[in-house]
Structure 1
Amino acid sequence: MPRAEKPRPAMPASSPDSAADGHHDLIGQPHDDESEGPVAQAEAEAAQISESDHPLGAMGQRFDRRSPFLIGMSAAAGVAVTYGLVLVVVGLRDVLILIGLALFIAIGLEPLVSWLVNRRLPRWLAVTTVFVAVVGAVGGFLTATIPVVVTQAAQLVAKVPDYLRQAQDHNSWLGQLNERLHLQQAIENSVSGGAGLLNAGVAVFGALTNLGILVVLTVYFVADLPRIRVALYRLVPNSRRPRAILIGDEICAKVGGYVLGNLLISVIAGVLTLVWLLIFGVPYAVLLAIAVAVLDLIPVVGSVIGGAVVSLVALTVSLPAFLATIGFVLAYRFAEDYLLVPKIIGSAVKVPALVTVVAVLLGGALLGVVGALIAIPVAAAVLLLANEVLYPRLDRA
């Protein structure tokens, strides 16, 4: 007995281009039921499932996951997608690093923005306030330091011939250092020829361009972070979503606390270094202090490199200044590790020392300086996921 055909509901007003028989008026015209065959029957059923609440139809039944065809197609699709993602990541590595760094900075600024929003400021005004404050602080810092930096850089360039003569004097400490490390040859190779200057100019232009892109991306990420958060959590199954929200928000809070705390500690390192160098009359004090502050952002290895550079420059003043500077570097390192970090960053990130060193080395090897900067919060997030998800599941197995 032939099946009675269900009456077709009228197409909703929200889909004016969809025909009553299920096919689109602007796609694939003319439609012929005889030539389309089974597709025409599917179009008729499409008209029946289109409703005002779901113009494109409701969700259908799930596939049988035990089907050999589905298993084979899923495996093939997984291999193809994985291979494609690897190619995309390799090809877009620099762009993805910029996007990831901008998102990392945005999460770091989010505690300030949310704090202002909780004080009943509109989010757009809170974002504007934070960025005006950041730009004002950076602008004021550059205004105060650029004249001094330019002056000291000019003095350094003027003394380069003296340093070269000392490097050729085998009796001086710089000459002995040059014999062991071949510093003069390395410097001459890096700056010789027009190609070196051209490459340096291209590198500076590229760095400024990336900096501008980074700022723009960070502004957009901070402004749209609530919508990004909702979109990401909607990717999690509904049954797992509440726990995912708790863990995800905790990770973001840890990242934000680490970024702001690490920035404050680096500023303290730069200021104290500047005061120390001025007391002992070490040349290029402002340049060295800025270098120490920037390097201190890199966990573990940054402060070591900064301290070594400062100590070597202090050696040009006198041996007592060199020894005193080494003592200062060691004392500050101890104070930073056991006083400043626990007090300022606190419990934002609890990462064992061994994990910290390994994470920084791996991050630096994979992504360079950016990887070293984000290594500790990423390691803290991985440890949190392991403690909250992986280990309990393994204990129940």
Structure 2
Amino acid sequence: MSDKELPHSEWVGQPHPDGEPEPITAAEADASELTSSRFPLGQPGKRFDRRSPFMMGLTAAAGVLVTVGAVKVVLAAHQALLLVVAALFLAIGIEPAVSWLARHRVRRSVAVALVFLVVLIALGGFLAAAITPLINQGHALIGDTPGKLHHIEDTYPALRRAADRIHLDQKVQDAVNSKTDDIGHGLVGAGKVVFGAVTSTVIVAVLTAYFSANFPSLRANLYRLFPHTRRPRAILIGDAIFAKVGGYVLGNLLISLITGVLTFIWLTVFGVPFALVLAVLVAVLDLIPLIGSTLAGVIIALVALTVSLPVCVTTIGFFLVLRLLEDYLLAPRIIGRTVRVPAVVTVVAVLIGGSLMGVLGALLGIPVAAAGLLLVREMLFPRLDQDANPSPA
């Protein structure tokens, strides 16, 4: 038999030996007859008997080894995995916009590029216009904190007595001095932090672009992991989960942007200092569910108190109205009903996510909880109800 009749790969084991063992030669001849256009590598054979003692023992041992190995990999590479998870959720978040462009006859790669271009233009324009005021106001806010605190204490004696009891002046001054020393004497450490942040941002951006551009193939390969009989229902449930996560991520970003803009307008109108820095702070903190907007309101109220008590009170009222506006108008209209999570589950999800993965876990806790509730409602509850009420024989 010539080399052309053998199923040898021209890229493997060349040149093939003339004295190849007869069993191998015969097997290669049979292999050449198995190849076809439908099955280039041969049709899959019969499955192993999973109930045999050997297979059961092998499966159990392999399961233990895989579980231990997976835990070790997660612990060793948790920082990289956090970046991958963040990129995946961002890709799912921009998927509605990319799919909308794709439905309007825009190539998917071009659609991803357009979405990224819009984001880069918006971010670049904001930084170009606001980076200098942000830096100046940030330094001024840190440097003026003790003076602002003394002004509040002199204006409101009750607050001064409370601050004296807890030695607030000394604590604030020590914190400012420590930060100043860190900035002055820790340039190398600050450079490492900046370099790490820039590197992580670039990695997340590249991974997000990759995941988004290849999302249809990733989705199809994911669904191929399910058995043929269960694949249609897996597609329905999986797409519902993707829709929930994407709607939450994109909607939460839009709501945060709206709250930041409204806060900037309010602070500018009432002459509250450091309006731009505080507005950006509100937009960032508003991304964190439950406690983010509350913490931002407390910080803004304290800064507004340096202007006057009426401005502080009205600012508190503004944040209460803004919270109601966000909960009952913006969130239902922007996020809609794609993410329906009970309040107690929301609190638990945010706490658990924050304790496991920090701020990223708090951000992802609600969509993950929504996906889990969907799985429980569609898979676990029907099975439990069926077991509890068996049909008559």
Same fold (TM > 0.5):
yes
- Per-residue deviation, 1:163: 5.2
The answer for the alignment partner of 2:289 in structure 1 is 299
Are positions 1:110 and 2:95 aligned together?
Answer: yes
| Residues 1:336 and 1:27: Cα distance change in structure 2 (over 3 Å) | farther
Equivalent of residue 185 in structure 1, options 174, 181, 186 = 174
Equivalent of residue 305 in structure 2, options 299, 315, 328 = 315
The answer for the alignment partner of 2:62 in structure 1 is 77
Residues 9 and 48, structure 1, Cα contact 8 Å, conserved in 2: no
Q: Which runs of 5+ in 2 are unaligned?
A: 388-393
Instruction: Report matched runs for 1:1-397 at 5 Å.
Output: 15-17=8-10, 25-26=13-14, 33=21, 41=23, 44-45=26-27, 47-50=29-32, 51-53=34-36, 54-156=39-141, 158-159=143-144, 162=147, 173=159, 176-177=162-163, 180=166, 182-192=171-181, 196-397=186-387
Residues 355 and 379, structure 1, Cα contact 8 Å, conserved in 2: yes
- Per-residue deviation, 1:187: 4.0
- Per-residue deviation, 1:28: 9.7
Q: Residues 124-165 of structure 1: CA distance to partner in whole angstroms, max 9, x if unpaired?
A: 221221111111111122222223223323433553563587
Report the number of matched residues.
379
- Per-residue deviation, 1:44: 3.5
Q: Which runs of 5+ in 1 are unaligned?
A: 1-7, 19-23, 34-39
1:59 partner SS? coil
CA–CA distance in structure 1, aligned partners of residues 298 and 370 of structure 2: 29
| Residues 1:156 and 1:389: Cα distance change in structure 2 (over 3 Å) | same
| Residues 1:166 and 1:327: Cα distance change in structure 2 (over 3 Å) | closer
Residues 15 and 55, structure 1, Cα contact 8 Å, conserved in 2: no
Residues 146 and 172, structure 2, Cα contact 8 Å, conserved in 1: no
- Per-residue deviation, 1:359: 0.5
Q: Residues 252-294 of structure 1: CA distance to partner in whole angstroms, max 9, x if unpaired?
A: 1111111221111111111111111112211101100010011
- Per-residue deviation, 1:15: 3.9
CA–CA distance in structure 1, aligned partners of residues 18 and 152 of structure 2: 85
- Per-residue deviation, 1:380: 0.7
Q: 1:48 is aligned with what amino acid?
A: D
| Residues 1:274 and 1:147: Cα distance change in structure 2 (over 3 Å) | same
CA–CA distance in structure 2, aligned partners of residues 93 and 342 of structure 1: 34
Q: Residues 295-342 of structure 1: CA distance to partner in whole angstroms, max 9, x if unpaired?
A: 111111111111111111111112222222111111211221112111
Residues 5 and 29, structure 2, Cα contact 8 Å, conserved in 1: no
Q: Residues 158-188 of structure 1: CA distance to partner in whole angstroms, max 9, x if unpaired?
A: 5356358779999694785475253333444
> With structure 1 as the length reference, what TM-score do the two structures score?
0.86
Q: Residues 67-89 of structure 1: CA distance to partner in whole angstroms, max 9, x if unpaired?
A: 11111111111111111111111
> With structure 2 as the length reference, what TM-score do the two structures score?
0.87
Q: 2:35 is aligned with what amino acid?
A: S
Q: 1:127 is aligned with what amino acid?
A: V
CA–CA distance in structure 1, aligned partners of residues 245 and 272 of structure 2: 36
Residues 364 and 371, structure 1, Cα contact 8 Å, conserved in 2: yes
2:339 partner SS? coil
The answer for the alignment partner of 2:391 in structure 1 is none
| Residues 1:224 and 1:93: Cα distance change in structure 2 (over 3 Å) | same
The range that moved more, 337-346 or 51-60, is: 51-60
- Per-residue deviation, 1:197: 4.4
| Residues 1:12 and 1:211: Cα distance change in structure 2 (over 3 Å) | farther
Identity %: 51
Residues 7 and 28, structure 2, Cα contact 8 Å, conserved in 1: no
- Per-residue deviation, 1:60: 1.8
| Residues 1:215 and 1:242: Cα distance change in structure 2 (over 3 Å) | same
Choose between structure 1 and 2 for higher RCO, CA contacts under 8 A separated by at least 6 residues: 2
CA–CA distance in structure 2, aligned partners of residues 178 and 80 of structure 1: 59
1:281 partner SS? coil
CA–CA distance in structure 2, aligned partners of residues 27 and 81 of structure 1: 38
CA–CA distance in structure 1, aligned partners of residues 186 and 231 of structure 2: 54
| Residues 1:43 and 1:96: Cα distance change in structure 2 (over 3 Å) | farther
